[in-house]
Structure 1
């Protein structure tokens, strides 16, 4: 055991009066880790290790959003010590949606799981209220897209945006962001992906929601259907976007009455997210030495090229991508 795991083990002994075995369960892209404490009778709990010098604010956000999302199947807090950075949660199991989908690559099964996730997303959004979570505003959107030139272009490609390329970038972003800002706003999980959804006996379990904001209604749907680690054919995605749109309208969510306009919003939101994620994955490698996510960058470049070539407003971004990485589709992992 390392020092933090030993501290966690010692603290857990003060919380439970029965023996347990502590094993590693998962790690986030940041400094947070999760361990599973398993008791002799087979019961288990999940233990979050979030070093307070680095993660105090994030844990406080986690607890706040957990209460806000309590109508969903999110972990229940069983014990906590924020001074040490430890939180004990009930165990939602170890079957991620991603694992279920990669173990059983059946399109009909994938669609059934994603429709269940869409139902939960709608329930999340229906609870939305303004002035509860921070705004996903222009400053935040711009900060995120700038990760692309600052980390992917500068560090991963080792290039700079010259005058011509910078002009293309500025024009494309100036066309992109107003479409996103004009979208109706709801609670946004911000990482509603198949790695953060759990297959349980009751309903979809939802994890990793501490970065939630109040922003564009299409953001989480893009996160779910244009994922970093698994990819579906565009016709499959389009069908599910239509299913979401129909369900959202029936539920009274503020989506466009015209599907074409809604799909355009979905695609523009995707461009913002894909630029951001390519930058984040490059930063994780070049700044933090974490290479787990780097092989997935080509998937986001493919997403970006396919989308930006469809809309004349996004033509500057498409032209920039052609100059930076060319027009050839790049090979990635799981595609169904």
Structure 2
């Protein structure tokens, strides 16, 4: 198949280039741009020299269906809202890695993203691409809204408890940490080396745009969910997310029962790994891979369950999950092109 990427010069686009290069069903990758027509991809990423030599093409929706079978939009917010619908109407399947199509309520989007929402019809056509919990809808979709990185780690960590209504949903607290690549490639004061090196920062307190995305999916699983407490932090590393999640159990639960619940929930999932009792994952242990590793425990003294969920934010939190969705949409084995052993150390 032939695959197009809009936004190949960002970190998500660069990771798509790395992963698609080893995908056995992808014979050609065409690079498009909404702003950098004529730039050679090697100017932005010399590490892909001799692998990808294309110049970035402008988007032409009248010809794109003759050039590619599907398109990834690895773009900032706003671009997908403009292009996804047109590309889908032209006959290509679309996977959007931005947040433009994740929130079903345009008013909520505009409140949190501070910009105009995509057309409601386009939002309703987009399927939320969390494969472990939305697989059948993904298989039939024309447009996929790829989940955010923090929501991926958080929702995979919470799903078995929320769907089985085992916790007091008002007690959910997510304390999340991310590497700086999650802020994108454009330089800013918050990610400047002198500001971030040997430093640890809290940011966007009570304002992060992934909050409504997490709440929206949790509400689909349990209508009693209203709001959550979610707070992200930046740590001085490039890749990785650790979401440490706390919730009050409705009834006492043993460690054995808790672990059995998670192992049963994810027993057929190729990219979710549950740690044994007393073991908790670290971000380095999923580095460069599409895995989500989960450790969990129950504190009898406080009645709280603690879940530790780690992913590589650029892979399972973005481009790897997007390729997982590509595989489902086209009937390929779900792990095709993604069977990567994490890089360590």
- Shorter-chain TM-score bucket reads under 0.3
Larger radius of gyration: 1
- Structure number with the higher strand fraction is 2
Q: TM-score, normalised by structure 2?
A: 0.27
Q: TM-score, normalised by structure 1?
A: 0.27
- Structure number with the higher helix fraction is 1
